[in-house]
Chain A
């Protein structure tokens, strides 16, 4: 049931087949020792057996050769002895022979014969085959062979060799006719050994065998142990010198030690390979994790928020780049330090400390001024909450998020102010209309006052309508609700058209209007009605804020990068302070001369909004006492300008 199941182990680093993995682990733990022991038992026995066998065989061979040589020497001696004693006995007289037989071997001559170690028998045979045993040797059990002599043998001296019937014993027999009797033959038999054991040879054998064995054992151990050890030693020192971790060639030596060593090396290599594979996997995982970390940090650093994590003790364990922007003056190394150690604002540190104890700080609960930029104070809003590990639910610390709320607060204040100012601006003409109409109710009003009142009421209603339109347009643009109806427009035609209608409505003015609009301008793609409002606003401002007999210049030009539409006046100019705020909603100069002209401070705001809606820019240049120039620029890189179309 080796059902392979892919599992992710604890640290989630690798995916592996758990069943085979465990088996492999088990193998690795037991396999080398078991294998070593097994090999040693099998190899040690045959290593000694042939040696023992060879030793015994060589020793035996040596002994056999030696005993064979000994036997040859002895047989030669026996030959001489046999021949001489046979000759001597053949020449004995009949009586003497009878005596010898009668003495039963007691005579000194026969004593000598009897003492011979290989003497078997001495008999006298008649011509009828009658045998008379004269003397028998000590070698009993062999008996006297019944081999008869041939006729020729009976008349001459000689010897013959034969074996017993069982062919186990070789015999040499000397024969000769007894001279005095003439009819009797004597036969003397000796053992003729093939091998001869010297007396005591077995002791030499017993003594030399262990010596030989020891010598062989010594050689064997030298060959089987010392040499492989020596090779191993050399191998180790070469490995220590940093050479490759390699096995030793054992095809010639066949040393079990080297086999074991090779098995160890192979095993070690396997383990090293497995470790390397795992290490590679770990390295990849580490790189992936590091990449993840970098990405997460990059994302956190890109946030427009300050993000920090405080540990349970209140020390900062992480903060992104933005975080420090909210604490100008704090050292850049705040990680590992508690809030009160580094925070330049003691109040914030105290609040954070109490927030940690009470379980967080809700968004909007803590706001503080952290920096000054120009005239504005920058305000940060802090929120803090406990972060819990997704798996265990343990607290990982407090996540602190700091947000710049300056513009939010500013926008809030601006929209409140906008509402107040809009109401105020609407009330003023209402106020005027109400008072003039009340005055008109007087019966005895002078006719010229009556006319003036009616005119004023008429103008103020116009002004109100204008104001309401502007307010609506600004609100639409700012809320993104306006629909831009873009059409392709011939720039010069469009500007000339605006110029013509302006000239018609301002024909009773003392101003000189200069127009400088080339025919060859590129076409633009704009919302004609909206852009007309913008340009009309600028033109009517140039007329309104001008001196008696002054000049209005309405010009356009095309550069390499942009189309520029400019409206210049020869009015009192705009102070630097006013230039900074001139596009703000409801802003009006404090200059009394300018305030004498009616206005509600929305025209330039709307003009700029419209230009920006067309990805253009509206700028002002002005010199006090000389005049001002407003310039609308449409960059050719935007798709407003259609290059080359006329």
Chain B
């Protein structure tokens, strides 16, 4: 099963994502913030990363930059869930390959469809 890392400080959101993704056939790992997520990726790179922007300690933007810095050969896609206001400030994302923005409040179906397109689940 493809392993998806979710960096999200809101536990309710993580919970609903986890249920939905597991039902869709993914394995889900959780990081409370950017730091935890980066640590996790260093040890075992996931098949995809879904991250929030506003997080304590290390936010989503810094997480993406650090991943790009530390793992220039990265292949897994990144989905950034963010609000409209933050999307307007995404100049920084130009230097980061295979990154998709998903506008909050996001539809679960849209997320799963996006994920299925980039990380197909083996039947």
On whether the beta carbons of A456 and B12 are closer than 8 Å, the reply is yes
Contact with B along A594-607 (1 / 0, CB 8 A): 01101000000000
* A427 and B12 in contact, given A439-B19, A439-B20 (Cβ under 8 angstroms): no
Most buried by A among B12, B15, B23, B33: B12
**A499 an interface residue at 8 Å Cβ cutoff?**
no
CB neighbours of A449 from chain B (8 A): 19
Contact A435:B108 (CB < 8 A) given known A420-B85, A592-B33: yes
Distance to closest chain B CB from A440 (angstroms):
10
Task: Choose among B17, B83, B105, B109 the residue with the greatest number of A CB atoms under 10 Å from its CB.
Answer: B105
The chain A residue with its CB closest to the CB of B13 is: A432
Closest residue of chain B to A434 (Cβ to Cβ) is: B105
**Residue A431 is within 8 A (CB to CB) of chain B in the complex:** yes
- How long is the Cα–Cα vector from A515 to B80 in the complex, in angstroms? 48
Asked if B104 is at the interface of the complex by the 8 Å CB criterion, the answer is: yes
Alpha-carbon gap, A595 to B106, bound state (A): 22
Residue of A nearest to B10 (CB): A428
Q: Interface extent on A, as a size class? A: 20 to 34
Complex Cα spacing A453 to B89, Å: 33
Contact B56 A435 (CB under 8 A): no
Query: Is A83 an interface position by the 8 A CB rule?
Result: no
CB within 8 Å of A: which B1-46 residues: 9-13, 15-17, 19-20, 23, 32-33
How many interface residues does chain B have, given as a range?
Answer: 20 to 34
Decide if B57 is an interface residue (CB 8 Å cutoff): yes
Given contacts A431-B13, A435-B16, A439-B20, contact A595 B104 (CB under 8 A): no
Name the CB-closest residue of A to B17: A435
Contact B15 A456 (CB under 8 A): yes
Q: Is A244 an interface residue (CB 8 A)?
A: no
Q: Considering the complex, which residues of chain A in the window 427-445 have a beta carbon less than 8 Å from any beta carbon of chain B? A: 427-428, 430-432, 434-436, 438-439, 442
B40-85 interface with A by 8 A CB criterion: 54, 56-57, 83, 85
Smallest distance from the beta carbon of A503 to chain B beta carbons, Å?
A: 28
Provide the residues of chain B in CB contact with A598, threshold 8 Å: 12
Contacts A456-B15, A460-B12 given; indicate if A427 touches B108 (C-beta within 8 A). no
List of A residues within 8 angstroms of B19 by Cβ: 439, 449
Residue of chain A at shortest CB distance from B81: A431
> What residues of B have a CB within 8 angstroms of the CB of A431 in the complex?
10, 13, 104-106
Residues A595 and B23 in contact, CB atoms below 8 Å apart: no
Nearest A residue to B16 via CB reads: A435
Alpha-carbon separation in the docked complex, A312 to B17 (Å): 71
Residues of A360-375 contacting chain B, CB below 8 A: none
The verdict on A424 contacting chain B, using a C-beta distance below 8 Å, is: yes
Closest chain B residue to A590 by CB distance?
B56
A423 to B86, alpha carbons, bound, how many Å?
12
Instruction: Mark contacts of B91-123 with chain A using CB atoms, 8 A cut-off: 1 yes-contact digit, 0 otherwise.
Output: 000000000000011111100000000000000
State the CA gap A423–B85 with chains docked (Å): 10
B105 touching A439 by the CB < 8 A rule? no
Given contacts A420-B85, A449-B19, contact A595 B9 (CB under 8 A): yes
Q: Select B106's contact among A424, A435, A596, beta carbons within 8 Å.
A: A435
Q: How many Å lie between the Cα of A326 and that of B121 in the bound state?
A: 65
Asked if residues B108 and A438 are in contact (CB atoms below 8 Å), the reply is yes
New A-B contacts (16) at CB < 8 Å, excluding given A435-B13, A436-B16, A590-B56: A420-B85, A427-B83, A431-B13, A431-B105, A432-B16, A435-B17, A435-B105, A435-B108, A438-B107, A439-B19, A456-B12, A456-B15, A456-B16, A460-B12, A595-B32, A595-B56
A sample of 6 inter-chain contacts (CB < 8 A) reads: A432-B10, A432-B13, A432-B16, A452-B15, A592-B32, A595-B56
Q: Enumerate the 6 nearest inter-chain pairs by beta-carbon distance, A residue then B residue, closest first.
A: A431-B105, A590-B56, A434-B105, A432-B12, A435-B16, A438-B108
